[in-house]
């Protein structure tokens, strides 16, 4: 019979902190290796194109579906609240603003982390376990250049496009639902959308998405490259790739929102007074 001994909470906390810093340090080292490899040169076309297709083109359907639903959900959720204040005609503004600055980038990144991040970690983990990564080294190639750099480039280059697709589909589905089901005047929907959402909001969302793409690629590839032995190790790497990417996405979303908003108000100080007095 196995006896489970409760561990001292201080020890547990200490180990947790140590593991966090070790994991973070590992990520930084891995990212540095990747950047050094990236500096040596871009991957060859026949290596990069299939990865671009897998990460970009094959992610479009899932981004379309989630974008469409989130646009409609936003319309449903905000309609009742806005109607109470007789402001339902301004649904277009809140849906568009929420999508381009927050939900579009975060949702596209979450979908990418779930669909592509886990798959990348599992694929690289399997290659590690079956010695294919060593085989790349043995054949005179750099595994990081061959496996990680193209995935990093694909994630970083394509996630802004996936975000733009999620934004566009969400706004369109929100418009369609507001117009056809909630009876909102389509002209007002678009008028307020254009009036309240600035180019900066769109750019801020896309800038965030680039950082999300970086974190997904680095976390997923690092988990795959350092996965434990056997099927269990590969499975754990795939799960951790998603969980850690998701945490990174949310953490970075918060930090980037603070940084980008601060930057915005530094560049255009008059916007602060508008925000305080309320443009609504």
Q: Do residues 217 and 151 lie in contact, with contact meaning Cβ atoms separated by under 8 Å?
A: yes
> Residue 79: CB partners within 8 Å, gap ≥ 6?
88, 91, 178, 182
The stretch among 16-24, 112-120, 130-138, 182-190 that binds another protein (CB under 8 A) is 130-138
In this chain, which of 4, 139, 267, 276 binds another protein, going by CB under 8 A?
Answer: 139
Nearer to another protein, 32 or 77 (CB): 32
Instruction: Report the C-alpha gap between 238 and 235 in whole angstroms.
Output: 5
x-marked contacts with another protein along 90-129 as a string, rule CB under 8 A: ------------------------------------xx--
Nearer to another protein, 55 or 169 (CB): 55
In this chain, which of 138, 229, 267, 276 binds another protein, going by CB under 8 A?
Answer: 138
Residue 135 as a binder of another protein (CB under 8 A): the answer is yes
Instruction: Report the C-alpha gap between 132 and 134 in whole angstroms.
Output: 5
Residue 19 as a binder of another protein (CB under 8 A): the answer is no
Residue 134 as a binder of another protein (CB under 8 A): the answer is yes
Minimum gap (Å) between residue 127 Cβ and another protein: 8
Residue 140 as a binder of another protein (CB under 8 A): the answer is yes
- Report which of 102, 45, 41 is spatially closest to residue 70, judged by C-alpha positions: 102
Instruction: Report the C-alpha gap between 106 and 97 in whole angstroms.
Output: 13
Cα–Cα separations (whole angstroms), residue 249 to 41, 89, 199, 223: 28, 33, 23, 16
């Amino acid at each position: 019979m196995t006896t489970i001994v409760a561990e001292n909470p201080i020890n547990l906390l200490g180990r947790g902190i140590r593991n966090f810093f070790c994991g973070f340090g590992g990520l930084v080292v891995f990212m540095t290796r990747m950047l050094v490899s990236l500096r040596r040169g871009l991957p060859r076309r026949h290596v990069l194109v299939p990865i671009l297709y897998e990460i970009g083109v094959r992610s479009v359907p899932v981004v379309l579906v989630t974008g469409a639903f989130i646009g409609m959900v936003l319309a449903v959720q905000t309609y009742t609240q806005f109607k109470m204040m007789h402001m339902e005609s301004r649904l277009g503004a809140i849906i568009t603003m929420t999508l381009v600055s927050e939900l579009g980038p975060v949702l596209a990144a979450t979908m990418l982390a779930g669909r592509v991040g886990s798959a990348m970690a599992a694929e690289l983990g399997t290659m590690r376990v079956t010695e294919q990564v060593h085989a790349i080294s043995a054949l005179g190639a750099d595994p990081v250049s061959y496996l990680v750099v193209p995935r990093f480039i694909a994630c970083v280059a394509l996630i802004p496009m996936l975000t733009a697709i999620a934004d566009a589909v969400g706004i369109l589905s929100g418009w369609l639902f507001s117009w056809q089901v909630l009876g909102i005047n389509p002209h007002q929907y678009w008028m307020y959308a254009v009036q309240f959402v600035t180019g900066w909001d769109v750019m801020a969302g896309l800038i965030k998405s680039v950082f999300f793409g970086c974190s997904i690629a680095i976390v997923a590839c690092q988990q795959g490259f350092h996965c434990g032995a056997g099927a269990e190790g590969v499975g754990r790497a795939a799960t951790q790739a998603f969980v850690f990417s998701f945490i990174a996405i949310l953490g970075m979303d918060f930090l980037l929102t603070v940084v980008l908003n601060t930057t915005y108000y530094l560049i255009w100080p008059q916007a602060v007074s508008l925000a305080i007095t309320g443009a609504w």
